[in-house]
A and B are shown apart, each in its own frame.
Chain A
Amino acid sequence: DAGVTQSPTHLIKTRGQQVTLRCSPKSGHDTVSWYQQALGQGPQFIFQYYEEEERQRGNFPDRFSGHQFPNYSSELNVNALLLGDSALYLCASSLWGDPATNEKLFFGSGTQLSVL
C-alpha cells in the first residue's frame, strides 16, 4: 500500500520562474492538503482540495494555486517565484469529513524547493 508520494524531491529555480509540484495521496484517501515549511519552522497550511475544488485556504497569495484531478492526485503551482518561497513543500492526504474523526494526516516526504 503506497503512502503519499511527492515529486520531484528536490528542485532549484530562479526568481520569477514558475514551478509545479505533484502529489499522489495514500490509497483510499480523497482529500489533499499542501503545506509550506521554512527551515526551522512548523508547516504552514496553504490550501486543501476535495472533489477537485479548493475547500480551505491559508494566508498565502494567489501566486500559489492548485489543482486536484479525478484520481485524487494534486498539483501545487507557484508563479513569479521569490527568494522567500524557498522551503520544503509537504503534501498530506486524508479522508474528507469532520476533523475530529479524521484520525491522522498522512504526509509525503516533501519537495525541497530552492529559489536562487
Chain B
Amino acid sequence: KNQVEQSPQSLIILEGKNCTLQCNYTVSPFSNLRWYKQDTGRGPVSLTIMTFSENTKSNGRYTATLDADTKQSSLHITASQLSDSASYICVVTLSGGSYIPTFGRGTSLIVHP
C-alpha cells in the first residue's frame, strides 16, 4: 500500500474556478511535506514545503495546508488558469537521517476554458 495517497485521481474544472486536492500519508516519522506541479513530459517543480510545525503555506494562487495530527494535507488552487493543467504531486520525507522521499501518484488537473 502506497504510504502517500492522493485524491481525486483526476479533476476537470472550468477556468476561473477554485479547487482543492487532497493528500493523506502514513509515512512516519515525518520531516516535511511538499507539493509539486508536473507538466506533461517535464520534471516536477516545487510549489510549497511545510514542516510538521507549519499548518499553512501560500505561493501565489496556491495554498497548502497540513494537519500533522490527522496526517492530511490539501492544496487549494484559487482562480484557476489554463496553465494550471498539470499533475500535482504530494511528497513526504522522513526525518531521522534517511532521505528517501515518498511520492504520491499525483492528481491530474485539467482546466477547461
Contact = CB atoms under 8 A, between A and B. Distances in A.
Interface stretch (A11-19, A35-43, A62-70): A35-43
Contacts of B100: 45, 56, 58
Contacts of B32: 99-100
Interface in B34-65: 34, 41-46, 49, 51
B105 A110 contact: no
Given A41-B105, A100-B32, A105-B46, A110 B41 contact: yes
Contact of B105 (A42, A90, A92, A99): A42
Contact of A40 (B4, B91, B104, B105): B105
Contacts of A90: 43-44
B103 A44 contact: yes
Interface residues of A, number: 26
A72 interface: no
A42 B11 CA distance: 17
Interface string A95-116: 0000110011111111010000
Interface of B: 4, 31-32, 34, 41-46, 49, 51, 89, 91, 93-95, 98-101, 103-106
16 contacts: A4-B43, A35-B103, A41-B105, A43-B89, A43-B103, A44-B103, A45-B100, A56-B98, A90-B44, A99-B101, A103-B46, A103-B49, A105-B46, A108-B43, A109-B42, A112-B41
